[in-house]
Amino acid sequence: MASYKVEICGVTTAGLPLLKEEEKEELFRRIAEGDKEARETYIKGNLRLVLSVIQRFNSGTENVDDLFQIGCIGLIKAIDNFDVTLNVKFSTYAVPMIVGEIRRYLRDNNSIRVSRSLRDTAYKAIYARENLTRKNLKEPTIMEIADEVGISKEELVYALDAIQSPVSLYEPVYTDGGDTLYVMDQISDKKSREEHWVEDIALDEAMKRLPERERYIIGLRFFEGKTQMEVADEIGISQAQVSRLEKNALKSMRAYLS
């Protein structure tokens, strides 16, 4: 972080404020009443969050000031749309919005435009590669990935080459209080709706041994392909709680299946 203790867009990053939980609650109460000063204070109190996110996008080819400004737009959108009654930490809600805003900016300003369908194919390939590696305990071949996705080898290579810098699904986006938010937590797996993530009859028995809430979370995550944020919204808990319950459930299932 040392390289970020500089002035970006007129903001001296070394002196950025940190808000306490009680301050956040009070500021959101005032924001809901239309207090513009409270809104401005909350924005300044979360600029560190923007800096934390833009680090993973700063490859040296992008202007840091531009990334910071775009990230701030995502932050402001998150503040204006955040619902305090959802029982979700603001950072958990804001990070995907900041990331999304930056990704849109990079996509729209890329000198080489890549179609959405091509990007979707590439990210399906990345997901398939991660799944096959975890399942077979070895790096899959291009042909194996192509078969898994259901496209030709040539299409696969073209799609992966087009996105330039594929991102691992296990790359951390943001860490807050020991709970890490990964790329895979922000995407849906539509394919899992048709194909089981583990082709083993013992899976059903392992699921039955889980507490009801953990079993429900695993069903939403791996059989309906929902993100942790979507699950959190559906059952009324935070994304961090969903993450912990999911990890506990998978650990219990692995222990049973082994």
Across residues 28-47, what is the average pLDDT?
Answer: 89
Lowest mean pLDDT among 126-130, 153-157, 175-179: 175-179
Lowest mean pLDDT among 165-174, 205-214, 242-251: 165-174
On the 0-12 / 13-18 / 19+ scale of CB atoms within 10 A, 178 is exposed
**Who wins on pLDDT, 134 or 35?**
35
In this prediction, residue 171 has a pLDDT band, given cuts at 50, 70 and 90, of low
Query: 158 pLDDT exceeds 70?
Result: yes
Highest mean pLDDT among 30-44, 158-172, 204-218: 30-44
Sign of the Cα pseudo-torsion (195, 201, 203, 204, in order): positive
Tokens of 73: 């737009």
Sign of the Cα pseudo-torsion (51, 52, 55, 57, in order): negative
Across residues 150-166, what is the average pLDDT?
Answer: 74
In this prediction, residue 75 has a pLDDT band, given cuts at 50, 70 and 90, of very high
Looking at residue 233, its pLDDT comes to 87
Across residues 164-184, what is the average pLDDT?
Answer: 55
Share of residues in the chain with pLDDT > 70 (%): 70
Looking at residue 199, its pLDDT comes to 41
User: Mean of the per-residue pLDDT values for the chain?
Assistant: 76
pLDDT in tens, 49-74: 888 888 777 666 667 888 888 889 98
Query: 139 pLDDT exceeds 50?
Result: yes
Across residues 150-165, what is the average pLDDT?
Answer: 76
Closest CA to 151 of 121, 196, 130, 193: 121
Looking at residue 6, its pLDDT comes to 42
**Who wins on pLDDT, 93 or 14?**
93
In this prediction, residue 37 has a pLDDT band, given cuts at 50, 70 and 90, of very high
> Is the CB of residue 232 less than 8 Å from the CB of residue 239?
yes
Looking at residue 1, its pLDDT comes to 34
Residues with Cβ within 8 Å of 81's Cβ and at least 6 positions away in sequence, in order, are 97
The three-state secondary structure class of 144 is helix
pLDDT in tens, 190-234: 444 434 433 444 566 777 788 888 988 888 887 777 888 888 888
Whole-number Cα distances in Å, 80 to 45, 89, 96, 116, 117: 15, 15, 15, 28, 31
Tokens of 105: 């900016």
